[in-house]
């Protein structure tokens, strides 16, 4: 009986530590008083847990703020130097690898195009391993407490990847990576990792229900619902919802899919057709999209294509608003970072015309804040989420 009580007490302390660290990580810098109010724990419990976290080097005091009528309140924040994490973005055109500190500050990034790999899993895995080695060169491998990888497909059974856009079905991608790294490995869908990044550190932060749109070669959406410690995040094949009956052919085999109108290669192909040019696709498609955005300022085919892209994207977002009633929609991903500012007014206009008025009024459509490396950053949140659940204990 005594052993059962001791185990329960240990579990409660572990739970309190994980809950407070998660709250501090996702909402910090915060004061001890704010942690007490948010957690519902006693001031003594919060003080004891915070003291442990400081002693372990997980968090640190980070200045102070004035309080109403009393002494200034000391703020707490995660200590960036506690450790490092690697995030990997495996897209349809490239592999991007980033090294980040414990607070998700960027330390190094590398990018390798997938040209010539034929999207073969072994070759793609080789680029991932090379990228990891490059960002860790000259550093301390023992400082890395995890590697997260975002892939364009579903991940099952801890590392089996089903990615139709890569031609992968049941690929054990984890086994191609794990034997070559020391740190624990985590895999998940790219849209989900992006959604987690934007809700933790980007434009989705603070929303009750945020939809984060991944705009790239592929198109996806993550739905993040606010939770006490972590946002709950689900993904959908939004890019393969039909926005035009018998419309443009989509690589999924259907016609009229949203991706066939707002995916970066779809935009580049439509522009090339209007301008009478050969489309520039593959790893150079992002560069070509940026050129189209610049050219659109002068009108002509580029402006027409972006206007059409904004209209279809707005229709797709209106469908999500009518179905899910979010309070915020975030345009993110590599293509979102490139063309988002140019098409945002058209997107908002289309949303206003196609979404139900009372739902559209309470939904803001905004740009992502994390830039082109957002998916790699999101992948880095996978091992961090596990560390938070363990209360910052790596052993």
b/e map 250-277, b = 16+ CB within 10 Å: bbeeeebbbbbbbbbbbbbbbbbeebee
Query: How far apart, in whole angstroms, are the C-alpha atoms of residue 379 and residue 191?
Result: 10
List strand residue ranges (DSSP E) for 67-201, in order.
73-78, 84-90, 94-101, 106-113, 144-151, 154-156, 160-163, 168-172, 185-189
Is residue 39 located within the same domain as residue 89? no
Say which CATH number the domain at 13 has: 1.10.10.10
Q: Residue 295 class from Cβ within 10 Å (0-12 exposed, 13-18 middle, 19+ buried)?
A: middle
Is residue 227 located within the same domain as residue 336? yes
With respect to residue 270, please indicate whether it lies within any of the assigned structural domains: yes
Rg (CA), the chain: 22
With respect to residue 148, please indicate whether it lies within any of the assigned structural domains: yes
Query: How far apart, in whole angstroms, are the C-alpha atoms of residue 29 and residue 355?
Result: 37
Tell how strand 94-101 and strand 59-65 pair up.
Answer: unpaired
Query: How far apart, in whole angstroms, are the C-alpha atoms of residue 271 and residue 265?
Result: 10
Helix axes 32-39, 43-55, angle to 10 degrees: 120
Is residue 278 located within the same domain as residue 338? yes
Is residue 48 located within the same domain as residue 123? no
Boundary of a domain, candidates 59, 76, 93: 76
CA distance to 171, 242, 244, 260, 305, per residue, from 247 (Å): 32, 8, 5, 9, 16
Give the pLDDT confidence score for residue 227 in this predicted structure: 63
The verdict on whether omega for the bond into residue 29 sits within 30 degrees of 0, i.e. cis, is: yes
Query: How far apart, in whole angstroms, are the C-alpha atoms of residue 381 and residue 89?
Result: 12
Give the pLDDT confidence score for residue 169 in this predicted structure: 93
Is residue 236 located within the same domain as residue 308? yes
Query: How far apart, in whole angstroms, are the C-alpha atoms of residue 130 and residue 27?
Result: 34
Boundary of a domain, candidates 46, 76, 106: 76
Question: Residue 70's domain spans which residues?
Answer: 7-76
With respect to residue 395, please indicate whether it lies within any of the assigned structural domains: no
Query: How far apart, in whole angstroms, are the C-alpha atoms of residue 394 and residue 56?
Result: 11
Task: List alpha helices for 355-373, DSSP H.
Answer: 357-360
Is residue 209 located within the same domain as residue 237? yes
Is residue 89 located within the same domain as residue 168? yes
With respect to residue 200, please indicate whether it lies within any of the assigned structural domains: no
User: pLDDT per position in the chain (395 positions), as tens?
Assistant: 444 445 588 888 888 999 999 999 988 798 998 899 888 889 999 999 999 999 999 999 887 776 665 677 889 999 999 999 999 999 988 999 999 999 999 999 999 999 888 899 999 999 999 999 999 998 888 899 999 999 998 899 878 999 888 889 999 999 999 888 989 999 999 999 999 999 999 999 989 999 999 999 989 999 999 865 566 899 888 999 999 999 999 988 899 999 999 999 999 999 999 999 999 888 889 999 999 999 999 999 999 999 999 999 999 999 999 999 999 999 999 999 999 999 999 999 999 999 999 999 999 999 999 987 899 999 999 999 999 999 988 86
Give the pLDDT confidence score for residue 7 in this predicted structure: 57
Token pair for 323? 């179905």
CA distance to 11, 18, 54, 57, 190, per residue, from 154 (Å): 33, 28, 38, 36, 9
Which contacts qualify for 152-156: CB closer than 8 Å, 24 or more apart? 152/90, 152/91, 152/92, 152/189, 152/190, 152/218, 153/189, 154/189, 155/187, 155/188, 155/189
Say which CATH number the domain at 172 has: 3.30.420.40
Give the pLDDT confidence score for residue 395 in this predicted structure: 67
Is residue 70 located within the same domain as residue 210? no
With respect to residue 113, please indicate whether it lies within any of the assigned structural domains: yes
Is residue 330 located within the same domain as residue 377? no
In 3D space, the residue among 27, 370, 378 whose CA is nearest the CA of residue 233 turns out to be 378
CB 315 within 8 A of CB 350: yes
With respect to residue 393, please indicate whether it lies within any of the assigned structural domains: no
Q: Which residues pair with 367 in a beta bridge?
A: 331
Question: How many domains is the chain partitioned into structurally?
Answer: 3
Give the pLDDT confidence score for residue 164 in this predicted structure: 85
Helices and strands: H and E segment counts in the chain: 13, 16
What pTM value is reported for the model?
A: 0.90
Question: Whats the size of the chain, residue-wise?
Answer: 395
With respect to residue 15, please indicate whether it lies within any of the assigned structural domains: yes
Give the pLDDT confidence score for residue 393 in this predicted structure: 87
Give the pLDDT confidence score for residue 283 in this predicted structure: 80
Is residue 238 located within the same domain as residue 177? no
Is residue 221 located within the same domain as residue 351? yes
With respect to residue 107, please indicate whether it lies within any of the assigned structural domains: yes
Query: How far apart, in whole angstroms, are the C-alpha atoms of residue 74 and residue 65?
Result: 7
Give the pLDDT confidence score for residue 340 in this predicted structure: 96
Query: How far apart, in whole angstroms, are the C-alpha atoms of residue 264 and residue 356?
Result: 28
Give the pLDDT confidence score for residue 2 in this predicted structure: 46
Is residue 260 located within the same domain as residue 301? yes
β-sheet with 364-367: strand ranges across: 232-236, 219-225, 209-215, 328-332, 364-367
At 205, is the secondary structure helix, strand, or coil? Answer: coil
């Amino acid at each position: 009986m005594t052993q059962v009580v001791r185990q329960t007490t240990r579990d409660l302390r572990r739970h309190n530590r994980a809950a407070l660290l998660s709250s501090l990580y996702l909402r910090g810098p915060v004061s001890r008083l704010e942690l007490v109010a948010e957690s519902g724990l006693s001031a003594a419990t919060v003080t004891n847990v915070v003291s442990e976290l400081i002693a372990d080097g997980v968090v640190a005091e980070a200045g102070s703020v004035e309080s109403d009528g009393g002494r200034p309140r000391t703020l707490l924040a995660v200590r960036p130097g506690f450790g490092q994490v690697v995030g990997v973005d495996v897209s349809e055109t490239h592999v991007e690898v980033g090294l980040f500190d414990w607070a998700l500050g960027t330390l190094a990034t590398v990018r390798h195009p997938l040209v010539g790999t034929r999207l073969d899993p072994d070759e793609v895995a080789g680029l991932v391993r090379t990228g990891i080695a490059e960002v860790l060169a000259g550093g301390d491998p023992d400082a890395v407490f995890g590697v997260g990888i975002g892939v364009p497909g579903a991940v099952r059974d801890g590392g089996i990847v089903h990615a139709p856009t890569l031609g992968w079905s049941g690929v054990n991608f984890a086994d191609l990576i794990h034997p070559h790294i020391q740190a624990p490995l985590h895999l998940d869908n790219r849209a989900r990792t992006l959604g987690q990044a934007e809700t933790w550190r980007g434009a989705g932060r603070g929303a009750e229900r945020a939809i984060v749109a991944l705009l790239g070669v592929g198109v996806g959406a993550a739905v993040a619902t606010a939770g006490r410690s972590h946002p709950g995040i689900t993904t959908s094949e939004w890019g393969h919802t039909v926005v035009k009956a018998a419309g443009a052919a989509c690589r999924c085999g259907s016609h009229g899919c949203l991706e066939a109108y707002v995916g970066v290669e779809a935009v580049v192909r439509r522009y090339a057709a209007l301008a009478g040019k050969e489309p520039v696709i593959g790893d150079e498609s992002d560069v070509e999209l940026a050129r189209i955005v610049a050219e659109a300022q002068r009108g002509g085919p580029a402006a027409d294509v972006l206007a059409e892209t904004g209209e279809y994207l707005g229709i797709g977002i209106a469908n999500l608003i009518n179905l899910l009633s979010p309070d915020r929609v975030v345009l993110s991903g590599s293509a979102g970072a490139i063309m988002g500012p140019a098409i945002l007014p058209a997107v908002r206009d289309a949303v206003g015309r196609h979404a139900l008025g009372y739902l559209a009024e309470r939904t803001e459509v905004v740009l992502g804040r994390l830039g082109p490396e957002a998916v790699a950053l999101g992948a880095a949140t996978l091992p961090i989420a596990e560390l938070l659940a363990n209360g910052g204990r790596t052993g």
